[in-house]
Amino acid sequence: MSDQQHQQSIEAAYYDMIDSALTPFTEEEKAPIFRAFQLANEAHKGTRRKSGEPYIMHPIAVAKIAVSEIGLGYKSAMAALLHDVVEDTSYTLDDIRDLFGEQIAYLVGGLTKLNTIFDKNLSLQAENFKKMLLAMSNDVRVVLIKLADRLHNMRTLGSMAPEKREKIASETNYLYAPLAHRFGLYSIKTELEDLTLKYQFPKEYKDLQVKLSSTEEQRQAYIERFKAPIIEKLREQGIEFDISGRVKSMYSIWNKMQKKHIPFEEVYDLFAVRVVFCPTEGVTEKAQCWHIYSLVTDIYQAKQERLRDWISVPKSNGYESLHTTVMGPEGNWVELQIRSTRMDEIAERGYAAHWRYKDNEDNITEVFKEDSVLDKLLFDIRETLSSNEVNPTDFLDQLKLNLFSSEITAFTPKGKMISLPKNATALDFAYSIHTQIGQKAIGAKINHKLTPISQHLHNGDQVEVLTADNQKPQAEWLHFAITPYALNHIKSALKKDEKERMQKGRQVVENAIKEAGWFPNAMLYKRLCNVYDVNNKEELFSNVGAGLMGVQEVERVVKKHLGRSKLLRYWELQLFPHTHKNSTFRGKTKEENIADGVFLLKEKDNVDKLSYKIATCCKPIPGDDVIGFRMGGNNVIVHKKSCPVAVKEASQHGDDIINAKWTEHKKEVFLAAIQLVTIDRSKLLLDIVRVISMDFDANIKNVTSRDHDGLVTTTIELFVHSTNELQNIIKALAKIEGNKNAIRVDIPDN
């Protein structure tokens, strides 16, 4: 393609982006967008992406996603067009500020990646993510444009090297898809998850594609049969509506198969039917949702335990809808979603639809503050970011736990509703009411029953916090509090107490040294630290200040040990070396430091010399899709690709990924587990053992079984050479008399 043809395609893409905006741009808005496009086009001229296309096509695509799929305005389009200019070209943020103003410069600055080289033990990805969220806490458009950027990168990931694909896909699954969910961007979240499946598990992705395609005609026919009586009933009532059936995402189907250890054929809820209605004048949306629910359940029997009411209490990301599961024709369970057109727009486009803010506002944060749900999100993020002592990887864990987890709702005795992350405790509840209530908490009454503050809360709990004036935060609270607000205030209180203890201890030790006729100095403190077997003088002061060492004892030790001659000290070290520190680095021996990874040996070129270990968390066996991580020196640990630990490691330490492939080792065996559900009968265990031990010559490590209502669930741990051998054993076990189900499961924790 000639330069002229390239330029024509670039201009066509630009004008397509302009035309695709959900809210059409005015002529006054188009002018600065075009200036941003011209600068970006000139700055990136001659640069190409891995796919071979001109680089400028990427920022144009990001801008299109921002304005057409998220619904952002003209300033966001400008920032998206310019988002890589500062990082990849000679332009600076000052240039952007001079040409386009302070707000565009701020957005571009928030989107620009860090180029600083951090300490090798920290995660660059985590630092980048933290910077993005810091910018986001002042202007949410930063993260929304970043999500658009990540979505386009995922759409074009096929042109990248395998290791790069693995890193980006893992990072997307761990951080960006949950973040899209938190912002209510359902469509983007779903596509990000499906794309991670495509690149992390290509075989499974293609298999699902084929199976969904082959059953599409049958599925559509069933949806039409299911919809027909509902349509008739709604029309009788004069309700204006749209009803549609939608297949669940491939990622959600695959995820269910993994969690429940079932094949595709046993996933019964492959699709959901949605009723979207136009509100009737004079009737509230909530009342109309329940009216339609009543009409539908007159036709189909509802499964009461599957009723989800997110119209009375919307999700934290603004999602509103009424969900139920009903028994459809031919005895199939079908999920039904009922929502208004407004609710549907929010469900598809998230906060961007909910706020309906305009990009020409001078103070965008003031517009955002009108939304209390957003306020809560930004508050949580600021709390997570507020502690400078949290290292980047801990920061990501805390952020994911508190911002991306499922939520519960609890109530104060007066009926005030408090939203908390799943697994939150009474202590988290106490801090969410007021800091001082959290600091003084000694217990709680949950549903009028006395419980400790470590008690986990459940949806709908009523909680009364009990306090005492003499109570103060304890170190063990850090083990069960999970919200950023609670954790940060506990750490702050503990740090303050520690500072007071150290000041008190310093005074005691210094006075004792002076009483012995010495002047406090580094040499004396080092000798005292050796005597007390502590790492440094700060630890010594803290122990003394905490009362672990009495004043008289300190004075006795000072007089005894600081009065000794150097010769006597020398012979003491020779005769009793085990009582003193013998380390040369951080209070540990060289061997201990190597084990802790302090001395890192990087083997970048000769991969054949790497030493591989099997991860104990997921215990992969030959045939499983695996991924390796360099753990320091020549050591590589191998995980299943689907292992949550592996996903987390890949998202935070993508540069340490090693491509791992199985080789044939017939002599090596690996531990695996099979679960059977069978009808209870005599000689059942004998038949199981015969298949495994005699037919396949496999060794059994352990067998456990439990019976319930005439069925026996048997779990067998056995040693196999590969997944092929394991599958053959499962197929053989499936044929034994009375078998209901035979599947591979995770190895039980012993």
Q: In this predicted structure, what is the pLDDT of residue 598?
A: 25
Cβ-defined contacts of 70-73 (< 8 Å, 24+):
70/144, 70/147, 70/148, 70/185, 70/188, 70/349, 70/350, 70/352, 71/22, 71/23, 71/349, 71/352, 71/353, 72/141, 72/144, 72/145, 72/352, 72/359, 73/23, 73/29, 73/357, 73/358, 73/359, 73/360
Are β-strands 635-640 and 626-630 bridged in parallel, bridged antiparallel, or unpaired?
antiparallel
Q: In this predicted structure, what is the pLDDT of residue 60?
A: 96
Q: Which residues of 688-714 are buried (b: 16+ CB within 10 A; e: fewer)?
A: beebbeeebebeeeeeeeeeeeeebeb
Amino acid identity of 213?
S
Are β-strands 308-309 and 449-451 bridged in parallel, bridged antiparallel, or unpaired?
unpaired
Length of the chain: 750
Find out whether 324 and 307 touch, Cβ atoms under 8 Å: yes
Q: Which one of 88, 371, 555, 746 is the catalytic residue?
A: 88
The answer to whether 87 is a known catalytic residue is: yes
Q: In this predicted structure, what is the pLDDT of residue 383?
A: 60
The answer to whether 207 is a known catalytic residue is: no
First to last CA, the chain: 63
CA nearest neighbour of 35 among 96, 110, 112: 96
Residues of the chain with pLDDT under 70: 1, 113-138, 316-317, 350-406, 549-610, 632-633, 652, 664-667, 749-750
Enter the pTM of the model. 0.64
Q: In this predicted structure, what is the pLDDT of residue 376?
A: 60
Q: How many CB atoms lie within 10 A of CB 280?
A: 15
Residues with Cβ < 8 Å from 318, sequence gap 6 or more? 184, 346, 350, 351, 354, 373
Are β-strands 670-679 and 711-720 bridged in parallel, bridged antiparallel, or unpaired?
antiparallel
Find out whether 708 and 698 touch, Cβ atoms under 8 Å: no
CA nearest neighbour of 444 among 677, 432, 226, 594: 432
CA distance 240 to 280: 8
CA distance 50 to 159: 6
pLDDT tens column, 673-728: 999 988 888 888 888 998 998 888 889 988 988 887 778 889 999 999 888 899 99
Per the DSSP assignment, residues forming a β-bridge with 445 are 450, 464
Q: Which residue has the tokens 């499974």?
A: 204
Q: Which one of 3, 11, 19, 87 is the catalytic residue?
A: 87
Q: In this predicted structure, what is the pLDDT of residue 394?
A: 59
Burial degree of 303 (CB within 10 A; 0-12, 13-18, 19+): middle
Calculate the CA dihedral of residues 433, 435, 438, 440 and round it to 10 degrees.
-130
CA distance 4 to 2: 5
CA nearest neighbour of 73 among 371, 348, 342, 360: 360
Q: In this predicted structure, what is the pLDDT of residue 592?
A: 37
Instruction: Tell me what percent of the residues of the chain surpass a pLDDT of 70.
Output: 78
Q: Which residue has the tokens 């394991």?
A: 726
421 three-class SS = strand
Q: In this predicted structure, what is the pLDDT of residue 453?
A: 92
Q: In this predicted structure, what is the pLDDT of residue 191?
A: 95
| Category of 376 on φ-ψ map: left (φ > 0), alpha (ψ -120 to 50) or beta | alpha
E strand or H helix at 11: helix 3-20
